[in-house]
Amino acid sequence: PAIATVGLTEQQAKENGYEVKTSVLPLDAVPRALVNRETTGVFKLVADSKTMKVLGAHVVAENAGDVIYAATLAVKFGLTVDDIRETLAPYLTMAEGLKLAALTFDKDISKLSCCAG
């Protein structure tokens, strides 16, 4: 799988004085990855636990470079986890993984329907 990253890692955020909250979503929870039979990989979001501002995003997956663009905008413009949750992510795309990762901060993705986000 490819690797794409933007912003701070969890460790870098802590070293910069942030209290962080993270979300890790394995690819076997992303419908497009299941269809492609490419479930080796992960989506990880790093957020400031006080404001839930997205500090970093890390993707290990086929087409990670295509997926990271939305996360780049989130980091650059100071978007929050809720901003990502409330934004449309087309079903059956790898980009949907970013939204699903945002949902996993406080929901069990396995309990949601395919289109619940």
Does residue 115 lie within any of the structural domains? no
Does residue 116 lie within any of the structural domains? no
User: 81 lies in which domain range?
Assistant: 2-106
What's the pLDDT at 44? 99
Residue 115 has pLDDT above 80, yes or no: no
Longest Cα–Cα distance of the chain, Å, equals: 40
Dihedral sign for Cα 66, 71, 76, 79, please. positive
Q: Which two structure tokens, joined as six digits, stand for 11?
A: 């460790």
Does residue 66 lie within any of the structural domains? yes
Tens-digit pLDDT profile for residues 24-63? 999 999 999 999 999 999 999 999 999 999 999 999 999 9
What's the pLDDT at 108? 86
Q: How far is residue 94's CA from residue 39's CA, in Å, rounded to a whole number? A: 11
Task: Give the pTM.
Answer: 0.94
What's the pLDDT at 113? 63
Residue 37 CB-density burial (10 A; 0-12 exposed, 13-18 middle, 19+ buried): exposed
What's the pLDDT at 41? 98
> Which residue type occupies 3?
I
